[in-house]
Structure 1
Amino acid sequence: MTRQSLKQSLLLQLAVIYTRYLIGGAFVFASLIKIKGHRFTQIPDDGGHSAGHFFEMMYQSGLYWQFLGWAQLLAGLLLLTQRFAMLGAVLFFGIIANVFVITLSYPFAYTPVITGLMLLATLLLLLWDWNRLRVLLNLPVVAEQTSPLYESPLWAGVGAVLFAFTAGYRVLTDRYDFLFWLGGCVGVGAVALLVGLWRQRAGAGLAPPAVERNARAT
């Protein structure tokens, strides 16, 4: 199977869209507590070489703690927009690679599995956009065909709803129900998928078949 045939797979296109939502939303969710100047975790500070001590030192830094939050928020937001997701994936990769190494460096139980999967997902997103990213190596951009559903502005609107829901929930309260937030996001994503598939079947409201936005700055 060629790369072009993979890019034309509707299943893979939807997988890419929802992977951006998943890891982008996770970063937005995690970022706002840092921006608000609160501790991200309640792991006890045992001193020395412990995860709790490491997090406490970052929290006590103040400015650096909030800088991490803003960087995560920006990366997550860019991914959720879909339109600027390639730039978001590049930024996300640098941050999640750093987080992954941190979780390997301290006793975090099974956390490296989670951060490792997020790193892998980001690498796959970068691979998806490789024919545009190759310009960074002074190689020509390669045009690729995508489906009208993939190009639909629907996904940018869904990303805006997910960002507003996540950011609003985290800003308005310091105590949160993770399952409520996750359920809300899954609900929004499920409705969007049904709407997108229905519109594709009806042939209404979608962009005409076009070459992917390779020449446009992302």
Structure 2
Amino acid sequence: MSKFEEIYHEAKSDKWFKGFAVFCRIALAVSFIPTGIVKILSQRFAEGLPHNNPLGHYFDALLLTGYYYNFLGWVQVVTAILLLIPRTALLGALLYFPIITNICVLTYAVRFDGTRMNTMAWLACLFLLVWDYDRLKPVLSFKRPKATAAVVSRPLGRRLRLVFFGGVFAVVAIIIFGTFYLFELVPGNEEAECRNQCASSKNPAACQAFCDCIYEKGQPLDSCLANFDRAPDLRKK
């Protein structure tokens, strides 16, 4: 048995890791239930988000898809319910992972502030998939699994707990503080938030023009960013 599997089976029998897995399941389920209900009721998601915000454009278009929008809501609610039931938690995690991956890519693409929570949700779902590694191993293996002797669990050392949960804390801190420096310019969740960043921008006038491009003219994010990048050269002229 590999070192990873030895540590894995020890973790599976430890109450701290079991509790963390339950916490992840509940947290992920709670994140999907309200967002899914909004879609089932055919209401616009993130109602307070301006229509000219890059993500606001997406939500407006998604709402107009009709029953496809409702279908997404049902999928989210069903996924949440599966996560809450121990017997179906793995199926819920398998459904949750591609959905949250898509949401993460979307929020990073439009530079949305919610990328922090979505990234944490993605990592939590990844943990749940690893948590059920023993059930996924036969599916992922290209070789026929060999019969193995029963694993005798022994008490998990405090050192491994400290490494794991210390690593969790460090990753969360990196996500929270690191994303502040991920992008030079962001549209923000509203116009005022966009303009507040201009005071510390290397080109405040170009930053204000960027916010006008987003919220006044409703132009695509890439076009507004391209105008901002060209602004220093135009200013020199």
- TM-score normalized by the length of structure 1: 0.61
CA distance in 1, matches of 2:40, 2:22: 27
Instruction: Name which structure has the greater RCO, CA cutoff 8 Å, separation 6+.
Output: 1
CA distance in 2, matches of 1:54, 1:24: 24
CA distance in 2, matches of 1:144, 1:65: 46
Does residue 135 in structure 1 map to residue 141 in structure 2? no
Amino acid at match of 2:44: R
Query: Which residue does 1:38 correspond to in 2?
Result: 43
Query: Which residue does 2:8 correspond to in 1?
Result: 3
Query: Which residue does 1:19 correspond to in 2?
Result: 24
Amino acid at match of 1:29: P
Number of aligned residues: 143
Q: 1:126 aligns with which of 125, 129, 135?
A: 129
CA distance in 2, matches of 1:76, 1:122: 12
Q: Which runs of 5+ in 1 are unaligned?
A: 147-218
Query: Which residue does 2:67 correspond to in 1?
Result: 63
CA distance in 2, matches of 1:22, 1:114: 11
Query: Is the CA contact (8 Å cut-off) linking 1:31 and 1:69 kept in structure 2?
Result: yes
- Cα distance change of structure 1 residues 6 and 29 upon mapping to structure 2, 3 Å threshold: same
Name the % identity: 32
Q: Which runs of 5+ in 2 are unaligned?
A: 1-5, 154-237
Q: 1:107 aligns with which of 86, 94, 111?
A: 111
Query: Which residue does 1:173 correspond to in 2?
Result: none
Displacement of 1:107 in angstroms is 2.9
Query: Is the CA contact (8 Å cut-off) linking 1:39 and 1:59 kept in structure 2?
Result: yes
Query: Which residue does 1:72 correspond to in 2?
Result: 76
CA distance in 2, matches of 1:84, 1:70: 17
Displacement of 1:69 in angstroms is 0.5
Task: Report the RMSD for the aligned CA atoms in angstroms.
Answer: 2.1
- TM-score normalized by the length of structure 2: 0.56
- Cα distance change of structure 1 residues 78 and 144 upon mapping to structure 2, 3 Å threshold: farther
CA distance in 2, matches of 1:97, 1:57: 20
Displacement of 1:137 in angstroms is 2.1
Displacement of 1:25 in angstroms is 1.9
The one-character-per-residue Cα deviations of 1:121-146 (angstroms, maximum 9, x if unpaired) are 00000000011011222453977789
CA distance in 2, matches of 1:107, 1:23: 22
Query: Is the CA contact (8 Å cut-off) linking 1:7 and 1:144 kept in structure 2?
Result: no
The one-character-per-residue Cα deviations of 1:89-145 (angstroms, maximum 9, x if unpaired) are 000001100111110111312x11110000000000000001101122245397778
